[in-house]
Amino acid sequence: MNKSKYLYPGDYMADPSAHVFENKIYIYPSHDRESGIPENDNGDHFDMQDYHVFSLEDINAEVVDHGKVLDVKKIPWAGRQLWDSDVAEKDGKYYMYFSMKDKNDIFRLGVAMADQPYGPFVPQDNPIKGSYSIDPCAFKDTDGSYYLYFGGIWGGQLQFYRNNKIVSPNELPKSDETALSPKVVKMSADMLEFSEQPRDLVILDKEGKPLKHGDTEKRFFEASWMHKYQGKYYFSYSTGDSHLICYAIGDNPYGPFTYQGVILSPVVGWTTHHSIVEFKGKWYLFYHDSVPSGGKTWLRSMKVIELTYDENGHIKPIDGLSS
């Protein structure tokens, strides 16, 4: 499958988080809509109101839409804007982690529970204590531990924080200063809270030095994803304003991680956002672009392509425009 394919032409879905549950691929995307809000650097034009769940029995099968599984109107602490989500399974229960602005317009992370991977998901009354920013990725390690990775700059508000606290003046680092790090935190046994303070996930260059904020083609912007391949931890992410999906490799879930290269070159549309999953012995990259909407970056369509590794465990780059 060296050519990508769109998964759901019937509606605009973005940020696809893919997992294998019950021998199927389940996909948890954001649900884009035409809100009429002008584009700005805060991302107000990405005004998502609900989540759907999709599944695939086989990579070439027709995708099944399981319908709306969570609505902003059903979340007690909701302000506005449901952004990216992800789902983890533990002991037969399913936990959806989602990012949304609270009533003070501050992004927090929430959790909703279901008895099946296709929902519906019932939200908790309050956001996760100590949570902030956007783009949660839920990762189950081979030892049974669960971690949440999160964060995003610009509209994702990560620049508001230092040492997990909001600080003034809420600014990004200067170009020659160390880039802001995505966050990693181990989850509590009940999967509903953090078991510790979130830590910085540090991304290093090949010389072992943390990436600088000005290194926009390598530094973290948003869209955390974690997967494991041949015993190594692969942290992948979007560089945002340079429009790349890159990855870094580490020896444990907390890092540090060493930058390796580009997975996906720019696509049509300002953002892309991805997940990586193994299914029936092959690896796949799920992502989105804005080709079907004619380049409207707030109306995105999810797609999939096969992902391959070389003999050294490096991911072979994919061309975002021609693949």
Catalytic site residue 207? no
* CB neighbour list of residue 243: distance below 8 Å, 6 or more residues apart: 266, 267, 270, 271, 272, 320
Residue 91 token pair: 């002991």
Catalytic site residue 15? yes
* CB neighbour list of residue 5: distance below 8 Å, 6 or more residues apart: 303, 304, 305
* CB neighbour list of residue 47: distance below 8 Å, 6 or more residues apart: 33, 35, 37, 80, 81, 298
8 A C-beta contact, residue 243 and residue 267: yes
User: Helices then strands (H, E): number in the chain?
Assistant: 0, 23
CA 82 – CA 127 distance, rounded (Å):
13
Name the residue among 237, 103, 232 with its Cα closest to residue 182: 237
Residue 210 token pair: 């943390």
DSSP state of 61: S
Instruction: Please tell me which residue in 11, 15, 47, 278 is annotated as part of the active site.
Output: 15
Instruction: Please tell me which residue in 84, 86, 222, 289 is annotated as part of the active site.
Output: 222
8 A C-beta contact, residue 236 and residue 263: yes
CA 193 to chain CA mean position, Å: 19
Residue 39 token pair: 């584009």
* Residues labelled as active-site residues: 15, 222
